[in-house]
Amino acid sequence: MSIRRVEPSDVDAIVGLVYELAEYERARHECHLTAEQLTAALFGDSPALFGHVAEVDGRVVGCALWFLNFSTWRGKHGIYLEDLYVTPSMRGHGLGKALLQTLAKECVDNGYQRLEWSVLDWNEPAIGFYKSLGAVPMDEWTVYRLTDQALTDLGT
């Protein structure tokens, strides 16, 4: 088992994992990621996305995709974890924890003040796992999102 930074040769495997995650989250119909999009986001002129993979016996079986955010209250960057996923057959082997430990180290090493993510309220296994690591739910906050026509209407 190893955790390492994502490489261009990992893109197809990561796209597959993202689709597995979308299926698990009951939202496969909302996932439209392509290898070209992911390559541009991770490895383009101005990367906006970063990632790590969990590898077992040379096969990518998990990933953490993240980007920098900024806390105006703390005056420091943090990491927002967009996707954390380990394929079901490899869960329970410490890969998810190892990926999160890697991101926590990234925060500590770079002076980032927060590591944040969202979890679906019905995903009890993930919630229990996150709480076991010391993560605190932000129950008083509600996420809002604009997409599709509502975004277009507001932006034009």
Just list the catalytic residues.
Answer: 130
List the Cα angle 24/91/115 in 5-degree steps: 80
Give the span between the Cα atoms of 60 and 55, in whole angstroms.
4
Q: How far apart are CA 68 and CA 117, in angstroms?
A: 12
- Show the tokens assigned to 119: 């979890």
Q: What is the token pair recorded at 149?
A: 């026509």
Of 69, 73, 74, 72, which Cα lies nearest the Cα of 48?
69
Q: Identify the bridge partners of residue 85 per DSSP, sorted by sequence position.
A: 63
d(CA 37, CA 144): 24
DSSP 78: E
